[in-house]
Amino acid sequence: MTHLLVSHPACARDVNPIGHPERPQRLEAITRMLQRTELWERLPREEAVPAAADALRAVHASRHVEHVRRLSERGGGAIDLDTFVGPHSWEAAAAAAGAAVQAVDAVASGRAQTAFSLTRPPGHHASRDVAMGFCLFNNVALATHLAADRYGLERILLLDWDVHHGNGTQDIFYRDGRVTFVSLHQEHWFPGTGFADETGEGAGEGRTLNIPVPPETGNEGYRTLFEEIVIPLGDQWRPQLVVVSAGYDAHIDDPLGAMHVTAAGFGTMAHLVMEGAKRWCGGRVAAVLEGGYYLAALADSVAATIESMTGEPVPLANASSPPRETPYAAIRARAKEIRSIAGQYWNL
């Protein structure tokens, strides 16, 4: 069984303004963590081929692609209050998109059983023609779209567990019946989208499932939502491929969220996905890094995910005890609400 890690050195060269949470040290922390384990020597690694502008246009408007490229070539500038382009942003964003494509393609083609794209900047907030939320291009959407086209896939499960709703990903696949997009995200949080009644349109009707999660939800709350909604949906959808937008800002120590998940909780989510994927599609799962901004928590959470994906033990460097979390009754009530809405399309 082959497991793959895809990255590119250009992703470490992009620098945001001082104090910005999306910084090169994110990748450095993850790499240092993995290098302390035996898995680092056993895990095959590949350097990504950066995505060309023409490839990016598969999910982005030409004017958007050219705007990012030209702004970077001119030395950079602000797109909005928290999203910036610098002189190295074009090469970093192209590399991040290419790495996601390479990781997902490796799994879709059968060249690897699982793969993890370890890159930045993240991508799930980028829509067809708008960069926002630290994201320039939508890496996971591009990779998923190209895999569906290249291999004729008709059923892909795209799961986003970042603390922020993947509004760009939803926008790109909202009318695409080949992709079921499931997002668990903190309710009433940036970017203000991802309500439970957003369920898709046209060929994609019923293929978007948003699960807004109450603040302070932790490991057991997420486990409940996975066991009662995500996994049963997968059992009905029977995806041919599973792609994960793997954000880690739902960690209790992360400064950009108000959740109480620990690294072990992310490991549990990944484990549940892997067990489901073994039934659905022979265990074919690709993950693409999104958010996560407290370095120690990010590194441990990625390691816990890779452990679940590969079956290789990875000792955590900063394991924390499960904290108090949102009452179980609140999670059950939310699960009931989501099942009621999704019941138009799924037997949950």
Instruction: Supply the pLDDT for residue 55.
Output: 97
Instruction: Supply the pLDDT for residue 323.
Output: 77
Instruction: Supply the pLDDT for residue 318.
Output: 73
Q: How far apart are CA 95 and CA 83, in angstroms?
A: 18
Q: How far apart are CA 37 and CA 199, in angstroms?
A: 42
In a domain, 58, yes or no: no
Catalytic residues: 125
Grouping H, G, I as helix, E, B as strand and the rest as coil, residue 288 is strand
In a domain, 52, yes or no: no
pTM of the predicted model over 0.85: yes
Q: How do residues 72-107 score in pLDDT, each as one tens digit?
A: 999 999 999 999 999 999 999 999 999 999 999 999
In a domain, 69, yes or no: no
In which band, very low, low, confident or very high, does the pLDDT at 1 lie, cut at 50, 70 and 90?
A: low
Helix 139-151 to helix 89-108 angle, to the nearest 10 degrees?
40
- Which one, of 273, 294, 208, 341, lies nearest residue 21 by Cα? 294
Instruction: Supply the pLDDT for residue 320.
Output: 65
What proportion of the chain, given as a percentage, has pLDDT over 90?
A: 94
Contact (Cβ atoms closer than 8 angstroms) between residue 143 and residue 170: no
Q: How many domains does the chain have?
A: 1
CB atoms within 10 A of CB 180: 25
Contact (Cβ atoms closer than 8 angstroms) between residue 55 and residue 101: yes
Q: How far apart are CA 103 and CA 330, in angstroms?
A: 37
In a domain, 66, yes or no: no
- Which one, of 255, 256, 263, lies nearest residue 315 by Cα? 263
In a domain, 273, yes or no: yes
Hey, which residues does 157 pair with through a beta bridge?
180, 242
Q: How far apart are CA 266 and CA 246, in angstroms?
A: 9
CB atoms within 10 A of CB 80: 10
> The domain that contains 267 carries what CATH number?
3.40.800.20
CB atoms within 10 A of CB 221: 26
Grouping H, G, I as helix, E, B as strand and the rest as coil, residue 242 is strand
In a domain, 55, yes or no: no
283: left (phi over 0), alpha (psi -120 to 50) or beta: left
Domain of residue 270 covers 3-46+111-123+152-342
In a domain, 235, yes or no: yes
Q: Which residue has the tokens 């989208």?
A: 193
Question: Residue type for 201, please?
Answer: E
Q: How far apart are CA 194 and CA 320, in angstroms?
A: 30
Q: How do residues 150-203 score in pLDDT, each as one tens digit?
A: 999 999 999 999 999 999 999 999 999 999 999 999 999 999 999 999 999 999
The dihedral built from the CA positions of residue 231, 118, 240 and 237, taken in this order, carries a sign that is positive
Which tokens sit at 307? 């452990």
Q: How do residues 49-74 score in pLDDT, each as one tens digit?
A: 999 999 999 999 999 999 999 999 99
Q: How far apart are CA 134 and CA 249, in angstroms?
A: 13
In a domain, 128, yes or no: no
**CA 233: distance to chain centroid?**
18
Q: How far apart are CA 75 and CA 66, in angstroms?
A: 14
The dihedral built from the CA positions of residue 106, 143, 21 and 215, taken in this order, carries a sign that is negative
CB atoms within 10 A of CB 163: 25
